[in-house]
């Protein structure tokens, strides 16, 4: 009997079990406790920021980060159209309006030159641009060397959506540390997981203190329950933080396994006309997900053909994000579009990328893809 091979399942084992049991036995079964404080310190150290606030999801982290830079009704926030919906939803939670920008077709990350044009245009029109939210797509950092000076010149804060990018770097600097504040996700499919969870990382202690306050129902530090503003119940549980601490110890090993897998895919597709690995040239990526981009004119097949073939062998794949400006929930979305994100949605395919895949599963995926390619190209299977 074959087991389904998933895209990016959690990679947990005895270390996580021992940390969880220890936390349970410590009695700190609450959204407060020593593992929570330690997890925040350890993630901040890894990302290289002065502090961190652990919350219940990456979406919550983005929401509080945007509130932290003052986003609210009447503001606009620039968001890449090629992302998971949480990035744009978090903008809406604050009352601000997301304005979308297309991506660089090579990397899938936001197109920096187009972002500059859009920002200048918005500022010229008198819009209050409260933030830019670059997304480090699939674990590859945005070109911050180019983006940050543009945002600095216009005085627009950067809120880095590093939900997928813990452990990645750009120019040696860790993902999460580029903006005024960064947001991480520890969802079950991410590079490290707490089953569900997220974190704000920043050097701005005032912003972090305010996020922590809002995440705990905006409760005032007095013995009775006193609230002067509307807060949220967004804190992470101490138990889940313990799970995260164990995962963090294994982060580099997990990145290594994902990179090995990406290298195997790159080798397999190297000689296949019309196919490339998205962001392959980025050797600082954490390789969270590996996607290929298929030019059907050159390859003679579509990404969906390979997806169907793999599904027939119980191997999960996923299209690259459907752009936000094509999502019904955003209606007639405002933004700058080149067609690059639409093309990646049409021609991209994300392959199983998890660090928990064993040798047999990796071999199985590569063999099934090899057989597909042999059938399509008439070559002998790899
Ligand atoms: C780019 C991006 N932003 C935000 C999120 C939201 O994180 P979470 O699922 O932890 O709320 C995710 C992942 O789910 C994501 O991929």
- In DSSP notation, 254-321 reads HHHHHHHHHHHHHHHHTTSTTEEETTTT-TT----SEEEEE-HHHHSS-HHHHHHHHHTTTB--B---
Residue 103 near residue 340, CB atoms below 8 Å? yes
Tell me which residues of the chain have a pLDDT lower than 70: 1-2, 378-382
Q: How far is residue 73's CA from residue 92's CA, in Å, rounded to a whole number?
A: 9
Q: What is the pLDDT of residue 1?
A: 45
Alpha helices in 127-223 (DSSP H): 144-154, 205-215
Instruction: Please compute Rg for the chain using Cα positions.
Output: 21
Q: How far is residue 191's CA from residue 274's CA, in Å, rounded to a whole number?
A: 29
| Strands 159-161 vs 198-202: parallel, antiparallel or unpaired | unpaired
Nearest to 181 by CA among 57, 285, 47, 77: 47
Q: What is the pLDDT of residue 2?
A: 58
Q: What is the pLDDT of residue 205?
A: 98
Q: Whose CA is nearest to atom 10 of ligand 1?
A: 58
Q: How far is residue 216's CA from residue 237's CA, in Å, rounded to a whole number?
A: 12
Residue 164 near residue 185, CB atoms below 8 Å? yes
Residue 164 near residue 192, CB atoms below 8 Å? no
Span between the terminal Cα atoms of the chain, in Å? 24
Q: What is the pLDDT of residue 3?
A: 84
Q: What is the pLDDT of residue 379?
A: 59
- What single-letter DSSP state applies at residue 345? H
Cα 44 from chain centre: 17
**196 Cα to the center of ligand 1, angstroms:** 10
> Is any atom of ligand 1 closer than 6 Å to the C-beta of 355?
no
Q: Whose CA is nearest to atom 12 of ligand 1?
A: 163
Q: Who contacts 325 (Cβ-Cβ below 8 Å, separation ≥6)?
A: 81, 100, 333, 335, 337, 341
Please give the number of the atom of ligand 1 that sits closest to the Cα of 60. Answer: 11
**271 Cα to the center of ligand 1, angstroms:** 34
Ligand 1 mutation pick, 65, 77, 159, 164, max ligand atoms within 8 A of CB = 164
Alpha helices in the chain (DSSP H): 14-26, 34-47, 58-68, 85-94, 112-124, 144-154, 205-215, 238-249, 251-269, 296-299, 303-311, 340-347, 359-377
- What single-letter DSSP state applies at residue 9? -
**380 Cα to the center of ligand 1, angstroms:** 40
> Is any atom of ligand 1 closer than 6 Å to the C-beta of 321?
no
Two tokens, residue 175: 């993902």
Q: What is the pLDDT of residues 213-234, one digit of tens each?
A: 999 999 999 999 999 999 999 9
Q: How far is residue 48's CA from residue 45's CA, in Å, rounded to a whole number?
A: 5
> Is any atom of ligand 1 closer than 6 Å to the C-beta of 58?
yes
> Is any atom of ligand 1 closer than 6 Å to the C-beta of 185?
yes
Cα 311 from chain centre: 25
> Is any atom of ligand 1 closer than 6 Å to the C-beta of 286?
no
Residue 241 Cα distances to 30, 33, 39, 263, angstroms:
10, 9, 6, 32
> Is any atom of ligand 1 closer than 6 Å to the C-beta of 8?
no
Q: What is the pLDDT of residue 77?
A: 98
Q: What is the pLDDT of residue 332?
A: 83
């Amino acid at each position: 009997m074959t087991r389904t091979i998933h895209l990016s399942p959690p990679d947990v084992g005895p270390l996580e079990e021992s940390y969880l049991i220890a936390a349970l036995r410590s009695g700190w079964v609450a959204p407060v406790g020593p593992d929570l404080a330690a997890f925040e310190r350890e993630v901040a150290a890894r990302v290289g920021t002065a502090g961190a606030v652990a919350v219940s999801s990456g979406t919550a982290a983005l929401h509080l980060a945007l509130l932290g830079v003052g986003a609210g009704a009447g503001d606009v926030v620039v968001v890449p159209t090629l992302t998971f919906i949480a990035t744009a939803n978090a903008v809406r939670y604050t009352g601000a309006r997301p304005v979308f920008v297309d991506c660089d077709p090579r990397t899938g990350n936001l197109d920096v030159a187009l972002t500059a044009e859009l920002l200048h245009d918005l500022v010229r029109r008198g819009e209050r641009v409260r933030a830019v939210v670059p997304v480090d797509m699939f674990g590859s950092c945005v070109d911050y060397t180019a983006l940050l000076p543009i945002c600095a010149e216009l005085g627009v804060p950067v809120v880095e959506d590093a939900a997928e990018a813990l452990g990645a770097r750009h120019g040696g600097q860790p993902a999460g540390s580029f903006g005024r504040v960064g947001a991480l996700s520890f969802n079950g499919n991410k590079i490290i997981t707490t089953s569900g969870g997220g974190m704000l990382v920043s050097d701005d202690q005032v912003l972090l203190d305010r996020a922590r306050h809002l995440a705990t129902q905006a409760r005032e530090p007095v013995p009775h329950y006193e609230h002067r503003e509307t807060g949220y119940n967004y804190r992470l549980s101490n138990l889940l933080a313990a799970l995260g601490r164990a995962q963090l110890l294994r982060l580099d090993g997990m990145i290594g396994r994902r990179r090995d897998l990406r290298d195997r895919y790159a080798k397999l597709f190297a000689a296949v006309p019309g196919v490339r690995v998205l962001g392959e040239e980025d050797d600082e990526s954490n390789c969270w997900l590996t996607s290929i981009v298929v030019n059907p004119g050159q390859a003679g097949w579509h990404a969906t053909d390979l997806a169907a073939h793999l599904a027939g062998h119980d191997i999960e794949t996923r299209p690259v994000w459907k752009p936000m400006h094509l999502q019904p929930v955003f209606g007639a979305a405002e933004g700058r579009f080149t067609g690059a994100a639409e093309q990646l949605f049409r021609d991209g395919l994300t392959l199983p990328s998890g660090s928990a895949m064993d040798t047999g599963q990796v071999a199985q995926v590569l063999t099934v893809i090899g057989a597909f390619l042999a059938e399509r190209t008439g070559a002998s299977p790899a």
